[in-house]
Every structure is written in structure tokens, then in C-alpha cells.
Amino acid sequence: WADLLGLVAKVEFRKKGIGSALVKEFERIAKQKRLETIDLYSDNKQLDLFKNLGYKEGRIYTAFRKKLK
């Protein structure tokens, strides 16, 4: 399998199909390498993008953060 750990587009490039194109290219490369599954990690802002590309919700993770002084 392949992991897609992050996808970010600058604000001025959002809603123009760039994110979808990047994911589709990632899928193409994964298929070329004969991988069968892609796991990805998304915040709530990207849920619609990935659902529209056919991804289904899987495991739920909790993010942790610690500010260092």
C-alpha cells in the first residue's frame, strides 16, 4: 500500500482542481507500482475532496501536539 500523508494547496490555487489532479497522479503512480491500496490522512477541510474521489472513511486517528518552550 501507499500512504498519502499530506496535501496542501495555497489559498489562491484551491477549488481549481489542482488537489484532485495531484491525488489522481499519486493514484496513477501507485497503480504503476502495482500497489493495491492508498491510505490517506485528512483534516475536516479536505473530507469532501477525498470523498468525491471515491475514498471511504477508515480508521480514525487522534492528533496530538505539544508546544515546546
Chain segment 38-59, per-residue pLDDT in tens: 998 888 888 889 999 999 988 8
- Given pLDDT bands bounded at 50, 70 and 90, which one contains residue 37? very high
Residue 7 has pLDDT above 90, yes or no: no
CB 2 within 8 A of CB 26: yes
β pairing state of 2-4 and 38-40 = parallel
Record the cell numbers describing residue 31, joined without a space: 497503480
Closest among 11, 1, 2, 5 to 41, alpha carbons compared = 5
Helix (H, G, I), strand (E, B) or coil at 7: coil
Which stretch of DSSP H or E encloses residue 49? Answer: helix 47-52
